[in-house]
Copies of this chain bind each other. A is one copy, B any other.
Amino acid sequence: MARKRGERVRAILATAADLLGERGYAGVNLEDVAERLDVTKGSLYYYFASKDELVTAAIEALGAEWTDRLEALPAHGPPTERLRALLREHIRIAVREHPAALRLFLVPDEWPEPQRDRIKALRHRHDAVFRAVVEEGARTGEFAVVAVDPTLQVLHAGMSQAPLWVRTDREIEQLTETLLKLVAATA
């Protein structure tokens, strides 16, 4: 049954992504993935040909879902409001749902070559969402940035690391506002 299979695969990917986030590529072993899913290692090999393939798929799924949600946010209104909404949502996902994922977007050279490229691609797509808003704001003069690239890098870095210290809603707000300063018009 394709249905069943799809669910199974999704469950595996979600679990793998969690563990990957907790411990990084080399720190995760298939035994643990299997155990958390309450199946045996052997089963994983029915769905994925190798650890690398499983890992790549897990990253892909996580990244895709994440970007989907960011892209689903309203695409109109003043850039400041749109950027604020993006930041808030991104941080919220990072902190509440995938504390794991900071490893995916920071420290890419932790991963073996094949995964590295996929991660870069994902991050690129991810990046595009923010880039569009920042560039629009810069164009209209509502934002003042030193340069777009470093601004995006710092936005990302700041958001990705959030799971390490952000807990409360108030901290989410503070981080959001702090990051907004990166594009603020100066005195």
Chain B residues in 8 Å Cβ range of A26: 23-27
State whether the Cβ of A161 lies closer than 8 Å to any Cβ in chain B.
Answer: yes
CB <8 Å contact, A147 and B181: no
Chain B residues in 8 Å Cβ range of A109: 22-23, 164
Are A181 and B181 also in contact (CB < 8 A) when A106-B107, A107-B24 are? yes
Q: How far is the CB of A103 from chain B (nearest CB, A)?
A: 6
CB <8 Å contact, A178 and B154: yes
Closest to A171 in B: B150
Are A27 and B174 also in contact (CB < 8 A) when A153-B161, A157-B158, A181-B181 are? no
State whether the Cβ of A182 lies closer than 8 Å to any Cβ in chain B.
Answer: yes
Number of copies: 4
CA separation between A158 and B149, bound complex, in Å? 12
* Chain A interface size, under 10 / 10 to 19 / 20 to 34 / 35 or more: 35 or more
CB <8 Å contact, A102 and B107: yes
Please pick, from B151, B175, B185, B186, the residue contacting A178 in the complex, using a CB distance under 8 A: B151
Closest to A182 in B: B181
Render A103-114 as a binary contact track against B, CB cut-off 8 A, 1 for contact.
100111110000
19 A-B contact pairs sorted by A residue (CB < 8 Å) = A23-B26, A23-B109, A24-B25, A24-B26, A25-B26, A25-B27, A27-B110, A102-B106, A106-B106, A146-B177, A146-B181, A147-B174, A149-B165, A154-B154, A157-B161, A158-B158, A181-B181, A184-B184, A184-B186
Please report A residues at the B interface, Cβ cutoff 8 Å.
22-27, 102-103, 106-110, 145-147, 149-151, 153-154, 156-158, 160-162, 164-165, 171, 174-175, 177-179, 181-182, 184-187
